[in-house]
Structure 1
Amino acid sequence: MAQMNYYKDRVVLNVLGGSVENARACYEAGEGHVAVGVLTADYPSVEAYVEAAGPYMDALEGNLSAGLGGGNPAQWRAVAEVAKHVHANHFNQAFCAVGWTRANLGDADCHVNAMVSPSGKPGYIKVSTGPISRDAAEPALVPVETGIMMVKEMGGNSLKFFPMGGLKVKDELRAVAEACAAQDFILEPTGGIDLGNFEEILCIILDAGVKKVIPHVYSSIIDKATGQTRIEDVKTLLAMVKELV
């Protein structure tokens, strides 16, 4: 298995693979600077996902991103259980289940993110993103710096900031980026990112000094007729990255 590029490249794209062939094409179009998401929500059971993951792992040199599915925290257990059997190089997880997932990975050197949400107040993030806590009348809002420390304690590697709605929370994104830069932490901007706003979003994060960024670009570059990620769009995103880094 190839080591994920997260730790040697400043920017690694995260896109969805509609099939093994589409995933391989995305990986090649991204010249290896990409993790390809396969969602647990698309499979009826953990066993079915584990069986399907093999060909993806081979095609992607291990750079599979085990996903929840639209940030659905109800899938947290499925992702955590997959971690016992598939040592993909990237796992998406709700904040509450980062520690569970890390424990299931054992000694495997895999990346686990922690899904946190905009709070409405720059400098703070919502960490109550689990299937029960997300509906709490009083959400758990903590300073970004504190949230990062908690994720580190649980064995997480990054903040997945979702849902951003593109540039709707620009001020909050900048504050999150500044905190990640200060604590040498990886940031994964997610939600509403497309070819039109990708560059501005990435600039905000890079200008803040974040050393490692994993932007998720999903539905906006998927061909709705085929369900496949458009390869030319992956090439376009990579070209933008090369211009900025």
Structure 2
Amino acid sequence: MKLTPNYYKDRVALNVLAGSVDNAKDIYQAAEGHVICGVLTKNYPDNRTCVTDMKKYQTAVDNAISVGLGAGDPNQSLMVSEVSKILQPQHVNQVFTGVAQSRTMLGQSETVVNGLVSPTGKVGYVNIATGPFSSQVKTAEVPIVAAIAMLKDMGGSSIKYFPMKGLKHKDEYMYLAKACAANDFSLEPTGGIDLENFQTILEIAVEAGVKKIIPHVYSSIIDKDTGLTKPADVAKLFVMIKTVVD
């Protein structure tokens, strides 16, 4: 299995949910490999079941899988680390306080590990209290540059900005994108992204100079009847990526 993501040499890659192994294959083909297929630990009752099933996804898409929490659920933090240690996926989603744990358990620096921070309503600041205990106490607002530095200290690869609610926090997001560019850090915008606002969100990051961008597009492109991500919509998003980046 490849540890270094196929897409990571490129500037932009999609992160979308795979509802089944066949769905993952279709998604991978629709984005011509410039995608990581998210599979959520929250959907499994235990680690063993999770690992067994996720291995099928790994085989189907050359390990281009993203081990997810499930709506940023901090209670999934440990399970994500434990499962990732065994699977060695290309991408790992973590709460801010779980980054060091995941990196240590992975035992290597190639897998992309993000750290989840949330908008605060204040430009230049993010909430880092996204862990299982910290999220229950209160918001811990810190300057974005400090959050990025701490993520680097912990072995993080990128900052996951969630929940963005589309463009509701546009000014904050623009500042974050510039900070990521200035500090040579990857950015993963997440939450409320759809076919209507995707290009604008991507353009902001590209124009800011962010070197690597991994937008997460989830519920807006999932078929409500089947629960599967629509490959046709993934293809549309990929066209937008090529339009913005090329």
With the shorter chain as reference, the TM-score category is: over 0.9
1:81 aligned counterpart, secondary structure: helix
Q: Are 2:219 and 1:219 equivalent residues in the alignment? A: yes
Across the aligned residues of Structure 1 and Structure 2, the Cα RMSD in angstroms comes to: 1.0
- When normalised by structure 2's length, the TM-score is 0.97
Deviation by residue 1:174-232 (Cα, 9 ceiling, x = unmatched): 01000000011000000000000001111111111111100000000000100100010
Give 1:185's aligned amino acid.
F
Bigger shift: residues 205-214 or 103-112: 103-112
Aligned to 2:132: 131
Query: 1:5·1:12 contact (CA, 8 Å) conserved in 2?
Result: no
Q: Distance in 2 between matches of 1:5 and 1:92?
A: 18
Amino acid in structure 2 at the alignment position of 1:211: K
Percent pairwise identity: 53
Count of residues in Structure 1 that have an aligned counterpart in Structure 2: 244
Partner of 1:51: 52
In structure 1, runs of 5+ residues without a counterpart are none
Distance 1:6 1:180, change over 3 A: farther
**Stretches of 4+ aligned residues off by more than 3 angstroms:** none
**Paired residue type of 1:54:** K
What CA distance in whole angstroms lies between the structure 2 residues aligned with 1:108 and 1:79? 16
Aligned equivalents of 2:68 and 2:36: distance in 1?
11
Alpha-carbon shift at residue 7 of structure 1 (Å) = 2.9
**What 5-or-longer segments of structure 2 have no aligned partner?**
none
Say if 1:87 and 1:108, in contact at 8 Å, map to a contact too: no
Query: Structure 2 vs 1, CA of residues 199 and 180 (structure 1 numbering), >3 Å: closer, same or farther?
Result: same
Which residue matches 2:242?
Answer: 242
8 Å contact from structure 1 (residues 15, 34) kept in 2? yes
Contact 1:68–1:79 (8 Å) recurs in 2: yes
Alignment of 1:194-233 (within 5 A): 194-233=194-233
Between stretches 99-108 and 216-225, larger displacement belongs to 99-108
Offset of 1:6 from its aligned partner?
Answer: 4.4
Q: Distance in 2 between matches of 1:177 and 1:219?
A: 23
CA distance in structure 2 between the partners assigned to 1:18 and 1:114 by the alignment: 24
